[in-house]
Amino acid sequence: MRDTRLPAKRGACALILCGLAAAPAASGQSSGGGSVYVATPKVSKVTCLRKCASRDRARGGSVLKVLGTELGGVNAVTYLGSYGSGDDTTVKVRAGGERRLNARVPIGAVTGPIALATSSGARSAPTKPVLILPPLPPEPNPELSPVPGPGVTGAPRLETGTSRTKAFVGARPGVTFSFRLSGASAAALKLELVSATDGVAVKTWTPQQVAPHQVQSISWDGRLGRMAAKPGRYSFRLTAATADGAEARNSQAGDVGRDSFDLYDNIFPVRGPHDFGGEGAKFGSGRAGHSHQGHDVFARCGTRMVAARGGRVKFKQYHAAAGHYIVIDGDGTDVDYAYMHLDQPSPFDEGDRVYSGQTIGAVGDSGNADGCHLHFELWSAPGWYDGGKPFDPLPSLTAWDSWS
C-alpha cells in the first residue's frame, strides 16, 4: 500500500505550536434508512505540558496537551515520526473531556505529526509536525559494575555493563552487554532485550553457562532478523537462576534505567560543522530545467561523510552535474540514500555492504557544485531513478542532526 504520509507534504515547523492540517469534520453516514453519526476527533492545538525540553519542545517522556473537538472517545495517540511507518509509536490515552486530553510522549517518538484514534476506529487527520527532541540519555554503565540492592539469598551475584547509551540500527560495532557471575552458579541464564516504550521483550538470548568470574558478552546491531527494530529505549534484562530456583536479576525495582540505551534509525551524515543553507538549498527550489531533488548541507571540503543508514551500494559513479556520488539502498528500509559532490570517489563500490555510520567519503565540490556541500537525496521505493520519487530530506536530516 502506498504510504500517503510522505514528508514532502509537510511544512517544516520550528515550534511545537503549529497550525494544523485540515481535518475532516464529523460526518453523517447514510446507513439504510437512518444515519449513523461518526464522531471524528479534530485537533486544533498541541502544546508541551510537563517534562518538556523547553516551552515549545517536547522530548521522549514529556506529556502533551492536545486541544480540539470530539476528543471524548479518543483512546490512542500515534506519533507518526518521519518517512514510513517504521518509526510510528502508539500510546494509549485515558478518555478525557471532549475538548482536551493529555498524551505521554513515548521514549522512542521522533519529530512528526500525531494522529488520534477513537475506540470505534475514527481517526483524526495527522497534525503538522510536533517537535520532539531525543529523551535524556540513560545512565551509562560501560564497565562491569555490581548490581545494586540486597539480592536474593542463595542466588548468584551479578555484575553487568552495557557498552553504549546510544546505538544505531545497522552500525558496527553494535551495543554490547557484558556480565559476570560469582557466588552460586547459575543453572539457567536468560537475557531479554526489553523495549521501554511498551515493556515488551523483543529479543531473548539463552547464554551458555560459564565458569564463575568469567566475563560473557552479547552484542546487538539493532536488527530483529532482517527487520530493523523500532527506534526507542531498550534495556538488557538478565536473569540467572540456580538449580534451587534462587534468581538474580540485573534490574531491581527502582532501577529501571540500568543497562539501557537508545536506538536510533539513522546517523547524521556530515561529521563536522555544517549548516542547512538558504532558500536555494531546499528541496524543490528552482534549478535550470528542473527542481532541486535533494537538500544541500554545507560544510568544509574534506569533512568526513558517513552512511546515514547502512545498506547495499547501488551506484558509485561520476556525473558532470552530481560529481562523485554514491547511492545506498538503506538496509531494512524502502528508501534509497544518495550522496553527491564527494571530493573523491567513495572507497565503496556497487554491490558493497556499508554499515550505518561507516565513512563513505568526504564533503567536496566535484561536478557542478557552488561551494563545498553534500547534496543529499532520499527516494521512496522502488528506488533512485527506478520508479521511486525523491522526497524532502530536510525533516529527516534535522531529526538525525538532533541526536547524532
User: What is the binding site for Zn ion (CB under 5 A)?
Assistant: 296, 375
User: At closest approach, how far in Å is the CB of 366 from Zn ion?
Assistant: 13
For CA atoms 381, 386, 392, 394, the dihedral sign is: positive
Q: Which is nearer to Zn ion, 139 or 370 (CB)?
A: 370
Q: Which is nearer to Zn ion, 193 or 338 (CB)?
A: 338
Q: Which is nearer to Zn ion, 64 or 338 (CB)?
A: 338
Q: Which is nearer to Zn ion, 316 or 375 (CB)?
A: 375
User: Quick one: cell of 368?
Assistant: 557542478
User: At closest approach, how far in Å is the CB of 294 from Zn ion?
Assistant: 5
User: At closest approach, how far in Å is the CB of 388 from Zn ion?
Assistant: 18
Q: Which is nearer to Zn ion, 74 or 372 (CB)?
A: 372
Residue 203 exposed, middle or buried by CB count within 10 Å (0-12, 13-18, 19+):
middle
Long-range contacts of 97-102 (CB under 8 A, 24+ apart): 97/71, 97/72, 98/69, 98/70, 98/71, 98/72, 99/67, 99/68, 99/69, 99/71, 100/65, 100/66, 100/67, 100/68, 100/71, 101/66, 101/71, 101/74, 102/49, 102/63, 102/64, 102/65, 102/66
User: At closest approach, how far in Å is the CB of 315 from Zn ion?
Assistant: 17
Q: Which is nearer to Zn ion, 113 or 390 (CB)?
A: 390
Count of CA atoms in the C-beta half-sphere (13 A) of 382: 2
Measured at CB, which residue is nearest to Zn ion?
375
How far is 342 from 347, CA to CA, in rounded Å? 11
Q: Which is nearer to Zn ion, 135 or 361 (CB)?
A: 361
How far is 235 from 4, CA to CA, in rounded Å? 33
Q: Which is nearer to Zn ion, 259 or 296 (CB)?
A: 296
- DSSP bridge pairs for 354: 311
User: At closest approach, how far in Å is the CB of 269 from Zn ion?
Assistant: 14
User: Quick one: cell of 350?
Assistant: 556497487
User: At closest approach, how far in Å is the CB of 397 from Zn ion?
Assistant: 13
User: At closest approach, how far in Å is the CB of 24 from Zn ion?
Assistant: 37
User: At closest approach, how far in Å is the CB of 350 from Zn ion?
Assistant: 22
**Closest-CA residue to 74 (of 59, 58, 95):** 95
